[in-house]
Copies of this chain bind each other. A is one copy, B any other.
Amino acid sequence: LKVLITGAGGYIGSVLQAVLTQRPEVAGQRVDAIALVDRVLPGAAGPRRVAIEGDLTDSAVLERIADFRPDTTFHLAGVPGGASEADYLVGRRTNLDATLALFEQLAQQRRDADRAPVVVYASTIAVYGTRLPPVVKQETPLQPPLTYGAHKRVCEILLADFSRRNELDGRTLRLPGIVARRSAGPGLTSAFMSDVLHALADGVPFEAPVSEEATAWWMSARRCAENLVHAAGMDLTGADPGRAWPMPVLRLSMRDIVNTCAEAFGPDRKSLVAYRPIESVEAVFGRYPVLDDAPSRALGLLDDGTPLALVLRALGREA
């Protein structure tokens, strides 16, 4: 089986690479080769690895993907929400144009293949919006509050359509806040969710841009990567033709997270946190309601189990 990962040099891409190195199996088949696509690919060399350095918006990159002919693609590349909102064109070129171009390129491959190429697409819970009912269900109307979420939603629809046409076999997973990357840099408003874990593990003070009660959906990068691999092999017989599911999540408040860090790293950790809520951050990342993720669990997708397991796995300290 030939596997392609876009955004392979990013945080989730790196963890996905590690997962596939430890266990090179996708959908019950042995992985024979992995092509990695990103602008920069440090340490991408290795057996059964093909490094495609460049931008997905570059047609030469698409041609190299076509030459590789992946059976399964993990499409992770994207410009994050803050950056997309600040510069419409930058977001559109990657999150919309390049994504559609990739789908079309892979669909071309269908013509002389036995089955449609599998595409696991990393969408986002940012498609839901901020005016949510107390329980978010599969049929809850989507109202993306940022251009980032709008473009992700658009590509979910396009992938479902390619799947209906039997030109691709699409599986969209909507990613929650994935932790814990180091120094995510500008453009990623949710970075505080990772920062708090590193700060409290390291025993340094942390200023939270949300309140103690701020409730969000959490998942470790490791569990996220495992879910992406699982998604490639899910049996979709009778499943929703929209082919988009949220990842199952742990719904935790900042207080829950801080208490869990105190449990893991020592009770002194609580005094390191100062709450300085910023209303715009709280509105987007602090009021997530209950997620009815039963359809996702029915497909075999998993959350991290417990807050403690989430924190340890997020920091790579899993037993």
Contacting pair B164 A158 (CB below 8 A): no
Task: Kindly identify which residue among B88, B150, B158, B160 contacts A160, using a CB–CB cutoff of 8 Å.
Answer: B150
Chain B residues closer than 8 Å to A241, beta-carbon distance: 143
Chain B residues closer than 8 Å to A242, beta-carbon distance: 141, 143
Q: Which residue of B lies closest to A139 (CB)?
A: B141
Question: Is A154 an interface residue when CB atoms closer than 8 A count as contact?
Answer: yes
Bound state CA distance, A124 and B157, in angstroms? 16
Chain A, 133-172, CB within 8 A of any chain B CB: 138-139, 141, 143-145, 147, 150, 153-154, 157-158, 160-161, 164-165
Contacting pair B147 A157 (CB below 8 A): no
Q: Which residue of B lies closest to A149 (CB)?
A: B161
Known: A139-B139, A143-B241, A242-B143. A157 touches B161 (CB 8 A): no
Contacting pair B165 A161 (CB below 8 A): no
Q: Which residue of B lies closest to A160 (CB)?
A: B150
Chain B residues closer than 8 Å to A144, beta-carbon distance: 157, 161
Q: Which residue of B lies closest to A127 (CB)?
A: B157
Q: Which residue of B lies closest to A129 (CB)?
A: B241
Report the interface size for chain A: residues with CB under 8 A from the other chain: 19
Chain A, 157-190, CB within 8 A of any chain B CB: 157-158, 160-161, 164-165
Q: Which of A158, A161, A165, A241 has the most CB of B within 10 A?
A: A161
Bound state CA distance, A138 and B143, in angstroms? 13
Chain B residues closer than 8 Å to A138, beta-carbon distance: 141
Bound state CA distance, A196 and B142, in angstroms? 39
Bound state CA distance, A248 and B88, in angstroms? 35
Chain A, 85-139, CB within 8 A of any chain B CB: 88, 138-139
Contacting pair A145 B157 (CB below 8 A): no
Contacting pair A158 B165 (CB below 8 A): no
Q: Which of A88, A144, A150 has the most CB of B within 10 A?
A: A150
Bound state CA distance, A165 and B147, in angstroms? 8
Chain B residues closer than 8 Å to A157, beta-carbon distance: 144, 150, 153-154, 157
Q: Which residue of B lies closest to A154 (CB)?
A: B154
Bound state CA distance, A165 and B241, in angstroms? 30
Question: A88-B165, A139-B141, A145-B164 known; 4 other A-B pairs, CB under 8 Å?
Answer: A141-B141, A143-B242, A147-B165, A154-B158
| 22 CB < 8 A contacts A-B | A88-B165, A138-B141, A139-B139, A139-B141, A141-B141, A141-B242, A143-B241, A143-B242, A144-B157, A144-B161, A145-B164, A147-B161, A147-B165, A150-B157, A150-B158, A150-B160, A150-B161, A153-B157, A154-B154, A154-B157, A154-B158, A157-B157
